[in-house]
Structure 1
Amino acid sequence: MPRVFNQKIKILYLMRIFLEQTDEEHPMSVKELIAYLNSLGISAERKTVYDDIETLRNFGMDILNRREHPAGFYLASREFELPELRLLVDAVQSSRCITNGKSRQLIRKLESLASVYESRQLRRQGFAENRIRTINENVYYSIDMIQRALTEDRQISFQYCEWTVEKKLRPENEGERYSVSPWGLVWQNEEYYLITYDEKCGRVKQYQVDKLQQIRIEKEVRRGREFFENYDIGELTSRTFGMFGGREVTICLEAHNRLVGVLLDRFGRDIMIHRKDPEHFKTLVRVNISDQFFGWIASLGPDAVIASPDEVRNKYREFLEKSLSNYK
């Protein structure tokens, strides 16, 4: 490169050096910065490097000069601190809806936001490499298409699939296309779910995003706005188990005191807790009645009881009897 061009681009390379090569434990002296620039074919003098560092500080970069050993200049703060990046990396690694290949790509991008030294602390793929993950590479692009429809206030259509015993996704109902109004994406149980309004039946429906195929943004404007103006999607996730729909019912649960935390985590801190006796409490919660909800209640064992209404108690009893019939 010509010398003049080298000098114009020098400050950009210095910025990259601070972003990629320095942190509090790995500062660089002016001599080391000059040597690094020289290795890139850029000549530099001490005074101009000092001037460039001051320019980068004025630009907003938090560059400090460490006096004690190891001494030198380093970038003291970044857009994302290391603990924040670690949380994001862990979230990507634990996500079942992201394929292994896409997970590795995203983690490499997150690592680039730290210094080369800090990024080594983020490389923990081995802990999550064998997790159960989706094999549908299109999830990433499905989410992008849904976000576009939400932004443009448009309906979408798609094929909804089911898994076969051959571990392949097969469109339901002979490939029939579902036309719905998308209103949100919900992250629950390590999966993404699409929350929609189905105009044909006039109700909210949920779809697992990694089972969507052939998504298309339609010309029609979304329907159901009046319904969602006062609709709490967060509340929906607390009362819907496994994101399986069902008739919404208010039930009374009675449980041992040791399960207070379980119910608060599930239904939120706003539910009313009443003492039944010194060792038990009761509460009213709204749930969508489904086999998945009954399975959750069963997982709590004898310490949790559906006290009312009788209709739900009877349905739960039928669920248990059918399950037990497999073990006679």
Structure 2
Amino acid sequence: MTQPTKIERILALMQVLNKYTDENHELSLIELTDRLIEEFDENTEITSSAVRRDLKELQSSKYYDLIAYQEDKGLPMTFSYQNKVFEIHELRLLMDAIPSARFITKTEKGKILEKIKELTSNALASNLENQIYVNELSGNEESNVKYIIFDLHNAIQDNKVIQFKYGRFNVNKQFILSNEGKYRELHPYALFWNNDYYYLIGKYPNKKDIRHFRIDRMRDVFVTDSSFLKDQDFNLSSYTQQLFHMYSGVQKDLKVRFDNHLINVIIDRFGKGVYIEPDGKDTFILRTKAIISEGLVRWLLTWGSDAKVLDPPELVKKMKEECAKMNEMYES
């Protein structure tokens, strides 16, 4: 019979308490002893008296919140660890978010979901059995995306210049590198998760415009030894709020008339602080700054005749041209 050291026994005891107890589940001294033997093997000698001493040490420790409970005199005392890092509803939020992330492969999603369950007791984890459908089509098959994200986080933190190749799929579903497959050089500023995709936001050296790139479309990412200074005026929240479907473009003052029933759409998109003004009985006017791009045109067309662009003139022109193209297409 083998006998674990006191330290091994206490660490195993803490693991058993974490795994099998919570606010709704407790274990008696005998049950804890049996679980400990299972953690090691049947040839391990662990006595209830030794476990009792270990429990007393955990109770007296300020680093482990062991709860001892006795329902009535004569009944055995039970023990539990309830100070979990995450509440069960917080773990549910994490498990709901993972399946929707397109930059994570389906295999990786399954692994992450199983690890999340380990953050609570087995009993509570059974209530976290994932009932969310993990789309077969979701999740880029480039499993190295997680390593790219890791490298980019470090580059952003250390203000290091990166080099990478970039591409897109063609109609034959072949991934084609742009820029003749040449490396691009970028000053990385931030990572941004939008519409289930991860984006890298940064600047080309000696350029003023902010750019962004889908991380799952980046290839051969390399963090150089060269450092750069970030533009202190860059505001991630302001930049991303002006983007529509992650299209780049020139910032302009935007003025649009919307039907009143779209007010919640506007608040959801721009926040409660956005400037709006009543415009008669049935409409209101939105005034904000936005990136003038094809993405903005597509977004505005979503609302059909319930949205009319008033300013800037170049966007009004783009809207008219796109409406004319759609009309011609359906007439032919």
- By the TM > 0.5 criterion, same fold? yes
Which of the residues 86, 92, 95 maps onto 2:92? 86
Pick from 171, 195, 199 the counterpart of residue 193 of structure 1.
Answer: 199
In the alignment of these two chains, the number of paired residues is 323
Confirm whether residue 184 of structure 1 aligns to residue 201 of structure 2: no
In structure 2, distance between residues paired with 1:291 and 1:70: 70
How much does 1:125 deviate?
Answer: 5.7
Does the C-alpha gap of structure 1 residues 78 and 70 become closer, same or farther in structure 2, counting only changes over 3 Å?
A: farther
Deviations along 1:129-169, one digit per CA (max 9) or x if unpaired, are 44532222121011011111112211001000111233332
Distance of 1:277 and 1:21 partners within structure 2? 63
Task: For 2:199 and 2:26, locate their aligned partners in 1 and report how far apart those are by CA, in whole Å.
Answer: 45
Following superposition, the deviation at residue 104 of structure 1 comes to 1.1
Aligned to 1:294: 297
Q: Who is 1:49 aligned against?
A: 51
Distance change (3 Å), C-alpha of 1:309 and 1:70: farther
Task: Find the aligned partners of 2:124 and 2:310 in 1 and give their Cα distance.
Answer: 54
Q: Unaligned 5+ residue runs, structure 2?
A: none
Within the candidate set 95, 103, 116, 2:101 is matched to 95
Residue in 2 that maps onto 1:24:
23
Give distance in 2, aligned partners of 1:184 and 1:101: 27
User: What is the match of residue 65 of structure 1?
Assistant: 68
* Structure 1 residue 67, shift from structure 2 partner: 4.1
Aligned twin of 1:35: 34
Query: Alpha-carbon deviations, 1:54-101, whole Å to 9, x = none?
Result: 333424333223445997212112111111111111111111111101
Instruction: Give the equivalent residue in structure 1 for 2:243.
Output: 240
| Matched ranges for 1:86-125 at <5 A | 86-124=92-130
Residue among 258, 261, 275 paired with 1:272: 275
CA contact (8 A) 1:37 1:44 kept: no
- Give 1:173's aligned residue: 179
The letter for the 1-side match of 2:239 is L
**Aligned residue identity for 2:220:** Q
Cα deviation for residue 2 of structure 1 reads: 4.3
For 2:220 and 2:262, the matched residues in 1 are separated by 43
The 2-side partners of 1:270 and 1:70 are apart by 59
Q: Is the 8 A contact 2:106 2:134 kept in 1?
A: no
CA contact (8 A) 1:156 1:216 kept: yes
CA gap 1:71/1:127 in 2 versus in 1, 3 angstroms: farther
Do residues 249 (structure 1) and 255 (structure 2) align? no
**CA 1:33–1:296 in 2, change beyond 3 Å: closer, same or farther?**
same
Amino acid at match of 1:186: F
Tell me, in whole angstroms, the C-alpha distance in 2 between the residues paired with 1:142 and 1:93: 19
TM-score w.r.t. structure 2 length? 0.90
Structure 1: give runs of 5+ residues left out of the alignment. Answer: none
1-structure distance, mates of 2:265, 2:286: 13
Alpha carbons of 1:71 and 1:301: their partners in 2 closer, same or farther (altered >3 Å)? farther
Helix, strand or coil: the match of 1:127?
coil
Distance 1:73 1:133 in 2: 42
Alpha-carbon distance between aligned partners in 2 of 1:71 and 1:305, rounded to the nearest angstrom: 71
Deviation at 1:176, TM superposition (A): 1.1
Change (3 A) 1:37 1:172: same
Q: Where does 1:108-147 land on structure 2 (aligned, <5 Å)?
A: 108-124=114-130, 127-130=133-136, 132-147=138-153
Normalization by structure 1: what TM-score? 0.91
User: d(CA) in 2 for partners of 1:298 and 1:66?
Assistant: 63
